[in-house]
């Protein structure tokens, strides 16, 4: 009588261990989704938005005068009151291939010296691979002293290979003050 009971107990323990392992695997899988997500974004043609935060090597190409693309600029802040942040121009008409420069203006109203980081994003997402920035204030954190106002330049080229059906691109920056923790925002 005890023999089969012991056997069942052993089998239960073995299956329990296997299921516990499966649960641990799922937990790990949740975290594995993080790198997987970036890879998927890059390969699905959705574009690698992270590339927008790096300098592009692309050299100016011959301008395609036959095409005009509207590039819109948006400036965002995660909270109100402690910064001023705006584009000098809200939109530009550009020819693919040509190098352009535009500017944003930021002012530190936090009342102390601080460092802020702009995070870019672009719409539609699939444009990310065709939007080259040779210079951008978002590549590095920006130091601001108390009350300082600064003009921040961006230089960019819209690739000539930009798919034909696209004639409007929106480039947005959110300006995050590094001294304000996520939880306080």
Interface ranges with other proteins (CB under 8 A) = 8, 11-12, 15-16, 19-20, 22-31, 33-34, 37, 44-46, 49-50, 53, 78, 117, 119, 123-126, 174, 176, 178, 181-183, 185
> Of 35 and 59, which has the nearer Cβ to other proteins?
35
Query: Considering the complex, what minimum distance in angstroms separates the CB of residue 40 from other proteins?
Result: 9
Query: 51, 130 in Cβ contact below 8 A?
Result: no
> Of 30 and 111, which has the nearer Cβ to other proteins?
30
Query: Considering the complex, what minimum distance in angstroms separates the CB of residue 135 from other proteins?
Result: 20
Query: Considering the complex, what minimum distance in angstroms separates the CB of residue 30 from other proteins?
Result: 3
Q: What six digits make up the tokens of 64?
A: 């395609």
Query: Considering the complex, what minimum distance in angstroms separates the CB of residue 7 from other proteins?
Result: 10
Query: Considering the complex, what minimum distance in angstroms separates the CB of residue 13 from other proteins?
Result: 9
Question: Which residues have CB under 8 Å from 55's CB, separation 6+?
Answer: 133, 134, 135, 136, 139
> Of 8 and 55, which has the nearer Cβ to other proteins?
8
> Of 16 and 68, which has the nearer Cβ to other proteins?
16
Query: Considering the complex, what minimum distance in angstroms separates the CB of residue 166 from other proteins?
Result: 14
Q: Is residue 121 reached through a cis peptide bond, with omega within 30 degrees of 0 on the bond before it?
A: no
**For residue 34, how many C-alpha atoms fall within 13 Å in the half-sphere facing its CB?**
4
Backbone angles phi and psi of 154, in degrees to 5: -135, 130
> Of 77 and 157, which has the nearer Cβ to other proteins?
77
> Of 63 and 172, which has the nearer Cβ to other proteins?
172
Q: Which of 102, 97, 101 is nearest to 69 (CA)?
A: 97
Query: 131, 159 in Cβ contact below 8 A?
Result: yes
Q: Enumerate helices (H) and strands (E) in the chain, giving the number of each.
A: 1, 9
Query: CA-to-CA distance for 153 and 128, rounded, in angstroms?
Result: 19
């Amino acid at each position: 009588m005890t023999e089969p009971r012991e056997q069942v107990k052993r089998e239960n323990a073995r299956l329990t261990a296997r299921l516990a392992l499966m649960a641990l695997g799922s937990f790990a899988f949740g975290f594995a989704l993080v790198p997987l997500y970036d890879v998927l974004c890059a390969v699905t043609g959705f574009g690698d938005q992270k590339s927008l935060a790096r300098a592009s090597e692309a050299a100016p190409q011959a301008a395609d005068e036959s095409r005009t693309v509207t590039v819109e600029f948006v400036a965002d802040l995660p909270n109100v009151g402690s910064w001023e942040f705006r584009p000098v121009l809200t939109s530009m008409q550009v020819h693919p291939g040509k190098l352009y420069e535009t500017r944003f203006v930021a002012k530190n109203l936090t009342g102390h010296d601080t460092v802020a980081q702009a995070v870019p994003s672009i719409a539609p997402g699939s444009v990310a691979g065709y939007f080259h920035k040779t210079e951008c204030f978002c590549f590095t954190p920006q130091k601001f002293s108390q009350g300082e106002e600064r003009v921040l330049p961006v230089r960019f080229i819209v690739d000539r290979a930009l798919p034909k059906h696209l004639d409007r691109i929106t480039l947005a920056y959110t300006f995050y003050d590094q001294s304000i923790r996520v939880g306080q925002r």
